[in-house]
Amino acid sequence: MSTEQAPSMPLFSELGLAAPILKAVHEAGYETPSPIQAQSIAPLLTGRDLLGQAQTGTGKTAAFSLPLLSLINVKAKSPQMLVLAPTRELAIQVSEAIQTYARYLKGLHVLPIYGGQSMGIQLRQLQRHPQVIVGTPGRVLDHIRRGTLKLGELQSLVLDEADEMLRMGFIDDVETILKETPEKRQVALFSATMPGPIHRVATRYLKDPVEIRIKSKTSTVDTINQRYWQVTGTHKLDALTRILEVEDFDGMIIFVRTKNATVELAEKLEARGYSSSPLNGDMNQALREKTVDRMKKSKLDILIATDVAARGLDIDRMSHVVNYDVPYDTESYVHRIGRTGRAGRKGEAILFISPREKRMLFAIEKATKQTITKMQLPSSEDIADRRVMQFNQQLSETIESQDLAFFQNVINDYQQEHEADPIEVAAALAYLVQKSRPLKPVKHVEARPARRDREERGSSVRSARRDGKSPRRTLGSAIREAEAGMQTYRVEVGREHGAEVKNLVGAIANEAGIDSKDIGRISLQDNYSTIDLPQGMPKDLFQQLRKVWVCNKQLEISLMSSNVPQAREGDNSERPRKAKRSGKPRTRPRDKARRPSQRREAKKG
Ligand code: AMP
């Protein structure tokens, strides 16, 4: 495998991290530190303050957590590290990441504290003496004022997404908290942008900080057509499968972040009939070279790779790059998409990006000086068209290349014996051949587009609502169906618990990271409520939502239906029947649907 000169990146093991932390990082499958990690870890380990300009997706959580956790004394039972984050969702996410990195630090407790969660629970958890607190500024300040959180022994304070905290009006709380911390604590401030007030906080409270900026170098990538899909209701894997169905690709490289993810995704794509292989740093050089060689010889169609393993990869037939996980910075994006458009050919680059990572999208557009166009996922009709086209192609190839005399006789005999219509016979054969990959696939319920998209399309949804026929949030409605792309959930909190629509919207928006605009109809009943949420909620998110507290009651959310009629208003005595979750993801049959190269591979065994 040829390699391009890559900037030399230290190894995690060279950065001086504590052994238990190193073990957890290795287990998470991280190969090398991301640029911000490479620059932050060493200075933070020596106790320096840090001012980092970086956005979500750059790996900044590990950049501060790994060194600061390495410095914690697990035997001391007071808060030593405090992370302030702008939202509940981020606080939970950061505390989960910290828990992962600290899994081998015996006796270490991490506690997320945020508004909206029951004070009682937080008080009990605070009595367990967590050494690390991750919280939103308002709730942290509440606890400081009540005397339930004491910061006298604090060693480090991290301000995560400081510009967001400013935007959300938390900056005064942040300053008050900073004043409550000991003089000698270490401060790390991360912000995607540096507006005046954040800069002032930095100058006032940070002592001689190391300044890190994840730079965006501009490069041109003229031969590559760039598109992005905004990760919404649909699972990334389902979205990828649909894209694979309709994209005309020769070779494809899919980028993920971890070694483990390369293996998992390759297995899933194999199971769906695509000849795929992982390419990661755990594979020895010989195996990597063999894999690349198979790709070059069209014995493989898809590589799932980490950045490190794909460095310098040069394969002419690579027509597509999919950024399944967002890259850390614009430079690695440019490097990734440079794996296509080789040898003067055209290339296609697709980026999966979540709403939280939107800033990275803008940074990439700036760096590549190109607009990245938004793509819609292929619809069921697109998939059907594509399958019919492939079927027709196979039919023509077979008629041209095979000796069909024997089969003609068989069909002729059948037709005469049954006096059958020849077209009907052919249709029955087409059905049989495509039975496991129907030419007319079961209709997908499309993910509900984000509100901005609906508005861009001049939205019939809006006019329907203006008519008052389909209000998004109602205080109880008659029989109704979930909107397309939505599923109806039941939560065990209702009017008699004091719940109002705004409480449910607030809790779900924060916990599920679902934009409140994308929460559908809410129907409050006496002792429960129903709520429409985008289809395809990941399992872990569902489990997390079950435990969320609203009006002193856990939501205990359960799935009711997906586009099926619901219970009548006032039918409170009876619990609405739960509909079974339908639509197990269909898999692509292994043989019939394969591309030519896949078939070649299959024949060779
Ligand atoms: P963050 O920017 O901190 O939100 O991190 C974004 C994602 O990158 C998370 O899913 C991390 O698990 C992942 N990540 C962070 N550092 C690394 C690394 N060195 N290698 C691979 N993945 C990483």
* pLDDT value of position 164: 86
Strands in 136-192 per DSSP E: 156-159, 186-191
Contact 316, 345 (CB under 8 A): yes
Q: Where are the alpha helices (DSSP H) in 272-329?
A: 285-296, 307-310
Amino acid symbol at 355: P
Q: Is there a contact between 38 and 51 (Cβ–Cβ < 8 Å)?
A: no
DSSP run (H or E) holding 264 = helix 259-271
A 10 A CB-CB count for 204 gives 9
**Average pLDDT for 349-355:** 94
pLDDT over 90 (residue 75): yes
Question: Residue 269 has what pLDDT?
Answer: 93
Judged by average pLDDT, the poorest of 72-86, 440-454, 479-493, 540-554 is 440-454
Longest distance between any two alpha carbons in the chain, whole Å: 97
Helix spans in 46-84 (H): 60-70
pLDDT given for residue 220 in this prediction? 59
Q: Cβ–Cβ contacts within 10 Å for residue 422, how many?
A: 11
Q: What is the mean pLDDT of residues 120-144?
A: 94
Number of H helices, E strands in the chain: 23, 20
| pLDDT reported for residue 516 | 66
Residue range 254-274: average pLDDT? 93
* 440: Cα separation from own chain's centroid: 29
Q: How far from chain centre, in Å, is Cα 119?
A: 30
pLDDT for 484 beyond 80: no
The full set of domains in the chain, from first to last, is 2-213 (3.40.50.300), 224-374 (3.40.50.300), 380-433 (no CATH), 451-559 (3.30.70.330)
Which range of 51-60, 330-339, 494-503 scores highest in mean pLDDT? It is: 330-339
pLDDT at residue 501 greater than cutoff 90: no
61 alpha carbon to ligand 1 midpoint, in Å?
7
User: Which tokens belong to 586?
Assistant: 């269909």
> Is residue 416 exposed (0-12), middle (13-18) or buried (19+ Cβ within 10 Å)?
exposed
161: left (phi over 0), alpha (psi -120 to 50) or beta: left
At 467, the pLDDT band (50, 70, 90 cuts) reads very low
Q: Is residue 286 very low, low, confident or very high in pLDDT (cuts 50, 70, 90)? A: confident
CA 368 to centroid of ligand 1, rounded, Å: 23
pLDDT band at 595 (very low <50, low <70, confident <90, very high): very low
- pLDDT-derived band at 593 (thresholds 50, 70, 90) equals very low
Give the distance (Å) from ligand 1 centre to CA of residue 58.
7
The pLDDT value recorded for residue 420 is 93
Q: What confidence tens digit (pLDDT) does each residue in 421-430 have?
A: 999 999 999 9
Q: 3-class DSSP state for residue 422?
A: helix
CA atoms 397, 247, 259, 221: torsion sign: positive
- Measured in whole angstroms, the distance separating CA 523 from the mean position of its chain's CA atoms is 29
CA quadruple 348, 352, 355, 357: dihedral, nearest 10: -90
pLDDT the model gives residue 523? 84
| Lowest-confidence pick of 53-62, 175-184, 349-358, 426-435 | 53-62
Ligand 1 center to 516 CA (angstroms):
26
Output the ligand 1 site: residues, CB below 6 A. 30, 33-34, 37, 56-62, 257-258
CA distances to 15, 67, 95, 124, 244 from 12, in Å: 6, 11, 21, 36, 35
Q: Which amino acid is at 164?
A: E
pTM for the complete prediction? 0.54
If one residue of 328, 359, 360 were mutated to test the ligand 1 pocket, choosing by the most ligand atoms within 8 A of its CB, it would be 328
pLDDT, residue 466, reads 31
Residue nearest to atom 18 of ligand 1 (CA): 30
Tell me, in angstroms, the distance from the centre of ligand 1 to residue 507's CA: 26
Backbone angles phi, psi at 370, to 5 degrees: -140, 150
Q: Quick one: average pLDDT of 295-320? A: 91
Q: What is the pLDDT of residue 262?
A: 96
Report the distance separating Cα 521 and Cα 483, nearest Å: 9
Spatial separation of the C-alpha atoms in residues 276 and 604, rounded to whole Å:
15
Give 603's contacts (C-beta < 8 A, 6+ positions apart).
none
The pLDDT value given to residue 524: 82
Tokens of 36: 């911000």
Atom of ligand 1 nearest to the CA of 28: 12
What are 8-30's pLDDT values in tens digits? 678 999 999 999 999 999 999 99
**Choice between 542 and 6, residue whose per-residue pLDDT is larger:** 542
Residue 203 backbone class (left: φ over 0; alpha: ψ -120 to 50; beta: rest): alpha
